[in-house]
Structure 1
Amino acid sequence: SMMSYDEQLFRDTIDDCIERLGFGATVVSVCLPFLAEVGVLWLTNAICPANEHFMSNLLRQMLYAQIHGANIPEVNEDDTVLVLYLPEREIHDISLLFVHQLCREHGRKSVLLGQSVPFDDLPGVAAQFPQVAFVTYCTTSPAEYQAQAYVDRIGRTFAGSEVTFHLAGSVFSEAEPVPGVTVDVTGGDLVQRLF
């Protein structure tokens, strides 16, 4: 469906997978591996950016529909709120949207800030909640060589606070965690940690 821009074929295929596997398993075992393959195809010029954008937007639509259809969880004031965000210059949000959907499914309170959130906004967001954990899944930003500096900046900025961060993505493969920060290379590890 990607090469021919066939939305109906995409929907039929995804609906069949959801019927057989369930929504979450379809995302984990079909959609996310497919996106990884699309990324390789794009990097090797086997497909054009329009093909990748077409598929990514269809997956986003599917996730937004699932999120919108789910109940917003009732939470106690002392429950930890998961604040989902992507750092500045990071726009690859599909994994983060899936985490947001899982929060709804598992009754966890989450706030989705989305793409390219300025770091300097995070302390103000944290101040809005008694218990907060920031969650991000990075694909391209920060760059791998900047990942440790990003982790260290979080450590300095939130030192002495109860705020925690869960960072995931291959960009963090060489990064060492600091107090209050966990680092996972894969989305699967992040999901296991959160749910």
Structure 2
Amino acid sequence: MNYSISDLEKLSGISVHNIRIWERRYGALKPSRTAGNTRFYDDEQLKRLLSITGLYHSGHKISRVCSLSNSDMSQLLQLDIDSTVAAQHRHEYFITQIINSCLVYNEKKLSELISSSFGQDGILNTYKFVIYPLLVRIGLLWLNGKVSPSQEHFLSQIIRQKLFAATDSCAVVDNTTKGWLLFLPEDEDHDIPLLLANYLLRAAGQRVIYLGPRVPLDTLHDAVSVTKPEFLLLFMTRMRLPAEAQTYLNSLSSQLKGVTIYLSGNLKIMHAVNLPENIKLLENPADFESIIKNKRTV
């Protein structure tokens, strides 16, 4: 597949300006040209840019990363993969065994491992110490060519199934109770953190309106006016330009001025924007836990 430089910007979250600078200064990418002299990039160039971006956001100097061959970049990614080893032996056991089961599409074993971790540590701690670092490692393994997109989707769907099953066991709170409205923006579909929040809130006896991923901004006002939630919660995890995130958050804030909105996701991007007054950043799961424990008021 061929991509324009604008496509690369959307897929990597790196601006066209920076991509061009990385090309000129460091030889990061080598685009091809059409007969009409228009530049384009293939799948290998996209994958190289995503690897560069991943290493750059991990703290490596861009000048060094761009100078690496694909082989050297793979070795550096492997070091980042090795650094995701869990501190607790039992957590690392679950992470490695889940990955092994994922690679051979062993649904039965994978399901048993997640259920066992839920039983030992509870759903929240399983997310913090197994599922979250597991997804980070899977992402790095994908960049390093050791996991395919189909394997990643296979794993994600089973985690979703487990969270849906746990949520289904929670009582549904009366419709007259004020509560939460949960959603992802229309360009976001990584809903596992949102599903976890859905479960935690329902398990704490709170009312939840769960809209899920890819919710158009212009439909939110209607949902809020009908359901009248006290709080909104959304995640923005996709790589994007800070200016793009700022525009979205400003629009969200202005449309829903009377509602407290909690935001989590990609902290590098979130720290690069100015949050409107009614939008509060959740840095980690502990922040969300404290909100639930403090009787839904912060």
Structure 2 length normalisation: TM-score? 0.59
Report whether the alignment pairs 1:139 with 2:223.
no
Counterpart Cα distance in 2 of 1:69 and 1:125: 25
Secondary structure of 2:227's aligned partner: coil
Distance 1:87 1:187, change over 3 A: farther
Counterpart Cα distance in 2 of 1:133 and 1:188: 18
Counterpart Cα distance in 2 of 1:31 and 1:61: 13
Q: What is the aligned-residue RMSD (CA, Å)? A: 2.0
Shift, 1:193, TM fit: 3.5
The residue correspondences of 1:15-164 to structure 2 (distance < 5 A) are 15-74=115-174, 77=176, 79-140=177-238, 143-159=241-257, 162-164=258-260
Q: Conserved in 1, the CA contact under 8 Å of 2:264 and 2:282? A: yes
Shift, 1:90, TM fit: 0.5
Secondary structure of 1:9's aligned partner: helix
Distance 1:6 1:124, change over 3 A: same
Partner of 2:262: 166
1:189 is aligned with what amino acid? D
1:111 is aligned with what amino acid? I
Counterpart Cα distance in 2 of 1:141 and 1:108: 31
2:154 is aligned with what amino acid? F
Q: Hey, which bits of structure 1, 4+ residues long, moved more than 6 A?
A: none
Q: Conserved in 2, the CA contact under 8 Å of 1:134 and 1:166? A: yes
1:49 is aligned with what amino acid? P
Q: Which structure would you say has the larger Rg?
A: 2
Shift, 1:188, TM fit: 4.2
| Residue ranges of structure 1 left out of the alignment (5+ in a row) | none
Shift, 1:67, TM fit: 0.9
Identity within the alignment, %: 26
2:254 is aligned with what amino acid? R
Counterpart Cα distance in 2 of 1:142 and 1:134: 21
1:56 is aligned with what amino acid? S
Q: Determine which structure has the larger helix proportion and give its number.
A: 2
Secondary structure of 1:113's aligned partner: strand
The one of the two structures with greater contact order (alpha-carbon pairs below 8 A, sep at least 6) is: 1
2:206 is aligned with what amino acid? R
Report whether the alignment pairs 1:175 with 2:273.
yes
Shift, 1:151, TM fit: 1.6
CA offsets, 1:89-137, max 9 Å, x none? 1000000000000011101110110110000001111101344321111
